[in-house]
Structure 1
């Protein structure tokens, strides 16, 4: 299996990635094909696919913010069971994030991720069993992810200004004993991460404002 980074929509592997995204995620979570052109050229955004016999069997997108000392996993897709795709993506991403942190001379605090709440979503994730939200949530819990004590919404990636719910904002702390992070850090991360979306719902702005008023946000079990 090869770990391959995509940096252009002209790459022959990009259509394979975009089909995976459309098969697995709800429409409001998937950026339109042509709108990927600019993000893929951003050196800070890493979009990688797992290739097996020329087929995209998994994918992950992530970034590291040295000024905040946190990473973000935008998505992880396991498209085929029985190949060890999840472990392959996890280890490959870990190595790259460690390299990015070392190059910036920073020590990471942890990594954010948006995690579906299986009891609040009815989406079938394209029938891919490894992507079942109950399975994914339990795996992420085993890895060490926790959830922020927060009623979470995010702006829709269809760029229409809607609020997407049914997810938790998760955090994988470098120190597994960590039981909270500062509200200011969470707010700054969200403002930075979602700066690419101009139309944001009022619910999102209210949530971020609330975080700024909190000295500390608890990290709870998934």
Structure 2
């Protein structure tokens, strides 16, 4: 299996990856095809695909924020079961992020991820891809060391219409699993940076950020 980076929408592998995105995620989570041009060309955004026998069988997007010394897993898609795609992507991603942190002369403090809560939202079939079942994904991320940040979370829709998307938790995988809280200012700064690309922010998101700005820390809970 090969781990190939995509840096252009003209890369034939990108079209295959985009089909996976549309198959697995609901429309409000998928950026339009043409709008991927700039993100793919951004050196700070890492988009890789797992290629098995010439076929894109998985993909992951993530980034490392040097100033904050944290990572963010934008998404991970396992397109085929039974060939170890999940472990392959997780291992390759961890090694890449570790290298980026070392270039920054630091040990990465941890990594954010948005995780669907199937106990609140049960209408995400994820294209019928069994490894992407939200109950399975939640347990896998728990095994990896992610914890849930204890506050009501929404994010702006990637359809650029300014609506609030709920039904997810913002989670964090601390370098030290015994860590029980995270600085609220770090969370707010990260979210402001991450969603700066979206011009329309829903009122619920703005209020959430204001509440984070007023806190000192947020509790980390088991998923």
TM-score range, shorter chain: over 0.9
Query: Aligned residue for 1:167?
Result: 168
Quote the Cα distance in structure 1 between the aligned partners of 2:53 and 2:160: 35
1:65 is aligned to 2:57? no
Q: Secondary structure at the match of 1:13?
A: helix
Distance between the aligned counterparts of 1:167 and 1:9, measured in 2? 28
- Residue-by-residue CA offset, 1:60-96 (whole Å, 9 max, x unaligned): 0000001001000000000100010000000000010
> Contact 1:70 / 1:112 at 8 angstroms: preserved in 2?
yes
| 2:151 paired residue number | 150
Question: In 2, are the aligned partners of 1:66 and 1:106 still within 8 Å (CA)?
Answer: no
Q: CA deviation at 1:130?
A: 0.3
> 1:53: Cα distance to partner?
1.1
SS in 2 for 1:219: strand
How far is 1:181 from its partner? 0.5
Q: What's the CA shift string for 1:11-50, capped at 9, x where partnerless?
A: 0100001000000000000000000000000000000000
**Equivalent residue, structure 2, for 1:20:** 20
What is the alpha-carbon distance in structure 1 between the residues aligned to residue 4 and residue 82 of structure 2?
20
Q: Does the 8 Å contact 2:58/2:85 carry over to 1?
A: yes
Q: State the TM-score, normalized to the length of structure 2.
A: 0.99
CA distance in 2, matches of 1:164, 1:138: 22
The normalised TM-score by structure 1 is 0.99
Match of 2:193 in 1: 192
Matched, 1:79 2:87: no
> Aligned equivalents of 2:119 and 2:13: distance in 1?
34
Point out where structure 1 has 5 or more consecutive residues left out of the alignment: none
* 1:44 equivalenced with 2:71 (yes/no): no
The answer to whether the aligner puts 1:8 opposite 2:8 as a matched pair is yes
Deviation at 1:107? Answer: 2.2
Task: Point out the more displaced range, 79-88 or 97-106.
Answer: 97-106
Residue 106 of structure 1 deviates from its aligned partner by 2.1
- Could you list the runs of 4 or more consecutive aligned residues of structure 1 that deviate by over 4 angstroms after TM superposition? none
